[in-house]
Amino acid sequence: MGQTNLNSLANLRLPKDKKEGHGYRYAVPREKIDELFSYIASGMGIKAAAKESGMSFPTASKYFKQGDASRGIKPLKIRLAVFQERISEKMNVLLEEQIQERLLTVRNLIKKTETELTSEEYEGKVSIRDLERLIKLEAFLCGGVTVKEHEKKMLTADEING
pLDDT digits (tens, 9 = 90+) for 131-152: 889 989 888 888 875 655 556 6
Give the pLDDT band of residue 61 (cuts 50, 70, 90).
Answer: very high
Residue 33 has a CB neighbour count (10 Å cut-off) of: 23
Q: Which residues contact 104 (CB under 8 A, 6 or more apart)?
A: none
Q: CA torsion, points 80, 85, 91, 94, in degrees to nearest 10? A: -130
Taking 60 as the threshold, does the pLDDT of residue 48 lie above it? yes
Q: What is the pLDDT of residue 45?
A: 92
Give the pLDDT band of residue 120 (cuts 50, 70, 90).
Answer: confident
Give the pLDDT band of residue 121 (cuts 50, 70, 90).
Answer: confident
What's the fold here for domain 15-74?
Arc Repressor Mutant, subunit A (1.10.10)
Q: CA torsion, points 88, 93, 97, 100, in degrees to nearest 10? A: 100
Sorted by where each begins, the domain ranges of the chain are 15-74, 87-142
Give the pLDDT band of residue 158 (cuts 50, 70, 90).
Answer: confident
- As a whole number, the mean pLDDT across the chain is 82
Q: What is the pLDDT of residue 128?
A: 84
Helix (H, G, I), strand (E, B) or coil at 73: strand
| pTM metric for this prediction | 0.51
Q: What is the pLDDT of residue 19?
A: 60
Tens-place pLDDT, residues 88-98: 999 999 999 99
